[in-house]
């Protein structure tokens, strides 16, 4: 039974990562960072809510590296901060959202809290620490990178989480049917 569960986790987490990479690549060509960011956050929420905390953490850690390798992520030095923001989102969703038997509307606190925490982690880590202290970029470049990691991150976390709230019940039913 343990091996079957492990195989299920590997298969589902792999599918989620593959889907995330495909969606990142597809939406990047549209030059719509709000769309790409919302989809990434959607995938993070789906991974933790459907497959558990270890799947969510894995997808959260892989996402910024995959984005960078696709040429859509920022500088390598910012990857640990982005991972921290993703992990914060996943952990809050796990803590507040994975309580059995909760109606969908009671997931609103998870949505709002996770988005706020991710925003704060990214804003403090990148805008207040990495850009001024680690990168020491010219003012114009610093403003561009700081802008990428301010309120738009809150918006994408809210949009992605909101979409997940709408889609998760359907996905959960489909998973339950497929597992027999």
With tokens 């569960």, the residue in question is: 5
pLDDT of residue 136: 84
Residue 125: pLDDT over 80: yes
The more confident residue out of 116 and 28 is 116
Q: Which residues contact 29 (CB under 8 A, 6 or more apart)?
A: none
Residue 99: pLDDT over 70: no
SS3 assignment, position 154:
helix
pTM for this model (two decimals): 0.91
| pLDDT, average across residues 91-96 | 94
Residue 122: pLDDT over 90: yes
Residue 105: pLDDT over 70: no
Residue 110: pLDDT over 80: yes
Residue 28: pLDDT over 90: no
The more confident residue out of 7 and 60 is 60
pLDDT of residue 71: 84
SS3 assignment, position 70:
coil
Greatest alpha-carbon pair distance for the chain in Å reads 58
Q: How confident is the model at residue 180 (pLDDT cuts 50, 70, 90)?
A: low
Four-CA torsion 13, 47, 86, 147, nearest 10 degrees: 110
Closest residue by Cα to residue 44 from 19, 22, 77, 25: 19
């Amino acid at each position: 039974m343990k091996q079957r569960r492990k195989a299920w986790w590997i298969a589902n987490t792999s599918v989620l990562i593959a889907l995330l990479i495909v969606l990142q690549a597809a939406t990047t060509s549209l030059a719509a960072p709000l769309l790409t960011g919302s989809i990434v956050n959607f995938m993070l929420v789906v991974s933790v809510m459907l497959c558990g905390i270890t799947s969510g953490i894995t997808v959260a850690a892989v996402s910024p590296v995959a984005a960078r390798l696709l040429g859509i992520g920022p500088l390598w030095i910012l990857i640990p901060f982005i991972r921290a923001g993703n992990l914060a989102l996943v952990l809050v969703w796990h803590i507040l959202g994975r309580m059995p038997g909760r109606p969908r509307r009671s997931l609103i606190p998870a949505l709002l809290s996770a988005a706020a925490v991710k925003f704060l982690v990214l804003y403090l880590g990148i805008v207040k620490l990495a850009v001024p202290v680690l990168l020491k970029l010219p003012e114009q470049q610093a403003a561009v990178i700081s802008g990428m990691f301010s309120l738009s991150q809150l918006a994408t976390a809210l949009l992605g989480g909101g979409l997940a709230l709408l889609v998760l019940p359907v996905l959960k039913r489909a998973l339950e049917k497929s597992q027999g």
